[in-house]
Structure 1
């Protein structure tokens, strides 16, 4: 199962989309845009999981596709 994460950058001014712990693939200004991209990756590569972190780096949500 592929793992995708949406995480804040160091000062929480942007959001990274990461694939299975690799280096971030994209940086987004808006959290919603990062979530949308991670969900698109996950839906295109089922079975997959998206883990979304809040600005304090705590797990907010996990979604499985």
Structure 2
């Protein structure tokens, strides 16, 4: 199962979508835009899941996509 995460960007005030919490695949100014991109990518790469974090790096939500 592929795992995507939406995390705050430490270098600026934006947000990053990462694959397996390692490789950044998308960068956005808003959290909502990053979440939408993560949903789009995860939905075409099933089975997968998205873990969404807060500005404080705490887990906020988890969304699963099955085939």
Question: Normalising by the residue count of structure 2, what TM-score does the alignment of the two structures yield?
Answer: 0.89
Which consecutive residues of structure 1, in runs of 5 or more, have no partner in the other structure? Answer: none
Alpha-carbon distance between aligned partners in 1 of 2:57 and 2:45, rounded to the nearest angstrom? 25
Give the drift of 1:12.
Answer: 6.3
Matches for 1:15-54 after TM superposition, within 5 Å: 15-54=15-54
> Number of aligned pairs?
65
Determine the structure 1 residue equivalent to 2:6. 6
Alpha-carbon distance between aligned partners in 1 of 2:45 and 2:60, rounded to the nearest angstrom? 22
Q: Residue deviations 1:4-61, cap 9 Å, x none? A: 0000011661000001122211210010000000001110011100000000000000
Cα RMSD, aligned residues only: 1.3
Larger strand share, 1 or 2: 2
